[in-house]
Structure 1
């Protein structure tokens, strides 16, 4: 027997972006008395976060900018998050094979950190604890749920059908937000095309243990065949993101630990110390993907479903979270405007969603363009261009206004 439900806003995908949106929408929920339904394919762990929690050595992590920290402070989550948020105090940027480097420091911005590295497990559990505290009256979490079909049979609402814990379900929603990741099947089902560029590269992601404490340093080392990044974690642990040509990545991922350590040591050098241990390795083919349609009537595409970036600048998740908060703010403003004009608020009205998308485009254009240009700039092995890049890095060290501008962009702040 099919279960039939109704909601005002349905969020498909209860991962980091979807859960963040459900929490960011709480002011709108409280003001308008709306129903929010979060549909997630995997039920959350019942284990509560606590201060004794320790991350697995193999846990994957996300880089949060200073601006994202401010967002999570506004959502009331930072007190929990900071227990396992490892600060990035300094960033060292270099170009392998050429003179010149630059260093970015938190003191110059008068903040305690340029950003933070948080294990995804801790971030996810903190978000789910926030949902539990908000209560089922504010967010109805349906899990494990598999949404198989999304349609728009009439202009006032969408219909989602699928399975909830093995039972058929039908959900009617006035607004559907697709936050189901870069491989969103529903987006494809709706015929939403992507602007896509294949970098012919694969990111090898793993945690590594160094011979000495990192002291809050992060490293970005560019090379013509792909960049390597090291981000600070607990103690002597760091998160490695090593971009390799697709033809080499699989062979590297399967190397014995000692040989893999030797390979990354040779590529990166000794600036951060000696590599002593490596955890489980994950491989991700790298593409730039951007949905050509991110809003329709009663529909928003958000997070990786909307834009998936090369990890070189570490800005993909931060861009997504800015989209989350701006969407929540836009819907709240639309509700206030509707009431001031004596109208009934509808969260799926197309003009308001189009206005929100237009407001988001400059940020998306800047971050997507910056990440894409950075890859091509440092992938070019022309000697003259290499020396020009080195001179540019030296210039950043010497010219503090340009360096401060770059740091503010990396921190997710307006400049």
Structure 2
């Protein structure tokens, strides 16, 4: 039997970040990951990217991973928000917030590499598969297979970071609130004729949001929301036909689009675990909440889960408390409850409001964007939410305070 203070099931971007944050705390830690590590070749033109908020930058700085990540990231200094065919628009600007950037667009490959480097001293079972889990009063018992070998693990706290289809959540029969939006997201990459480095665009159309995120080398990552049933047709278009359709939705603010990358689609849904914290159990990231991509908050919300959980576990270790005990988990609930609930509700509302075709709603959207553009106070509030710095009690990672893990924060 292998005994641990903490077992993380899922060693991807969220679970791996948590393990990196706790690697030097003295906690007995193990990561169970199903996917074998890959040595990535040179990045492709259409590599997957993730929008990181300013708050996420602070968290990665404190963990010690930001220097590697930022080398391949493009800053977001302005966000231009508009409603297609309506008069309202607004801009968020980093200068109004007194920061170097509102956020960053980073390749998922580079995030993964930085995390893999940070896991050098962490025990990992990989590739491994979870066979069973049993929550007891003082421990959680797990059975995993590593290759052809079965292993039994015991831990004082189990963290499920294994994605939206969490095996841990399913095996324990944990209830979720879930609904589809009747839309799919199409992801691709384009190069515009007149790129605007550092400027991101969120354009609301009759089929849903269309986001263009700046990448390095003048490229833009495209996240195009379309109705269910339309995605297959867009995948089957020629490059020329696809670019014409995208141009019609976005316009010519960046000139002509060229060099479309691979097109991928996935269905959009909301999933929220009804009890993300249980006896000796915490769900984090997509295992706890899966969001619509409007405003790009999904991964950032999960990273704030990581920061809050790291904080309470470090405090518990310093105080000699049980990492999976009631006092530790109650502290995590207090840090995360408001943020998780508020962000999920706000994103769900945005996803519904900005696809509503009813004329009064469309006029109200335009007036709302116009009012936002004319009100510095409202813009500041929206920018704070976009940057991951608004509301609730925030962990010291996200506040840029001196780290309690022994690392320094350079924000």
Is this a same-fold pair by TM over 0.5? yes
The alignment status of 1:380 with 2:356, answered yes or no, reads yes
Residues 288-327 of structure 1 mapped to structure 2, 5 A cutoff: 288-327=270-309
- 1:89 is aligned to 77
Is the contact made by 1:42 and 1:144 (CA closer than 8 Å) also made in structure 2? Answer: yes
5 Å-filtered alignment, 1:17-96, equals 17-26=14-23, 28-29=25-26, 34-45=27-38, 55-96=43-84
Q: With structure 1 as the length reference, what TM-score do the two structures score?
A: 0.91
SS at structure 2 position matched to 1:91: strand
**Deviation for aligned residue 1:46:** 5.3
Report whether the alignment pairs 1:392 with 2:345.
no
Is 1:102 matched with 2:95? no
Distance 1:11 1:180 in 2: 9
How far has the Cα of 1:249 moved from its partner? 1.1
What is the DSSP-based 3-state SS (H/G/I as helix, E as strand, rest coil) of the residue aligned with 1:235?
Answer: helix
- Choose the corresponding residue for 2:5, options 4, 8, 29: 8
Determine if contact 1:214/1:235 at 8 Å carries over to the other structure: no
SS in structure 2 opposite 1:173?
A: strand
Shift in Å, 1:185:
2.2
Q: What is the Cα deviation at residue 45 of structure 1?
A: 3.3
Counterpart CA distance in 2 for 1:384 and 1:308 is: 30
Residues 58 and 280 in structure 1, CA contact (< 8 A), matched pair in contact too: yes
CA–CA separation in structure 2 for the residues paired with 1:273 and 1:361 = 44
The whole-number CA distance in structure 2 between the counterparts of 1:166 and 1:62 is 35
- Count of residue correspondences: 391
User: What residue in structure 1 maps to residue 394 of structure 2?
Assistant: none
Output aligned runs, 1:165-180, within 5 Å. Answer: 165-180=147-162
Gaps of 5+ in 2: 392-411
Most deviating of 78-87 and 381-390: 381-390
Show CA shifts across 1:167-206 (max 9, x none): 2222111111000000112211111011112101111111
Q: How well do the aligned residues superpose, as a CA RMSD in angstroms?
A: 1.6
Helix, strand or coil for the counterpart of 1:348? coil
Deviation of the 1:414 alpha carbon: 3.1
Give the structure 2 partner of residue 350 of structure 1.
326
Q: Distance in 2 between matches of 1:14 and 1:268?
A: 37
The answer (yes or no) to whether the contact 2:130–2:167 under 8 Å persists in 1 is no
Which 4+ residue blocks in structure 1 deviate beyond 6 angstroms? Answer: none
Contact 1:55/1:122 (8 A) holds in 2: no
Deviations, residues 5-56 of structure 1 (Å, cap 9, x unaligned): 2222110001000010001123532xxxx21101111222357xxxxx9532
Q: TM-score normalised to the size of structure 2?
A: 0.92
Query: 1:125 aligned to 2:113?
Result: yes
Distance 1:58 1:148, change over 3 A: farther
| CA offset digits 1:312-354 (Å, max 9, x no partner) | 01001111101101011112223334x4xxxxx2211134313
Q: Aligned equivalents of 1:352 and 1:240: distance in 2?
A: 41
Residues 10 and 36, structure 1, Cα contact 8 Å, conserved in 2: yes
Distance 2:294 2:101 in 1: 19
Answering whether residue 377 of structure 2 is matched by residue 401 of structure 1, we say yes
1:157 touches 1:175 (CA, 8 Å); kept in 2? yes
Structure 2 contact 322–328 (Cα < 8 Å) conserved: no
Deviations 1:127-156 (A, max 9, x none): 111111xx2xxx20111111121112x312
SS of residue in 2 equivalent to 1:393: helix
Structure 1: stretches of 5+ with no match in the other structure: 48-52, 340-344
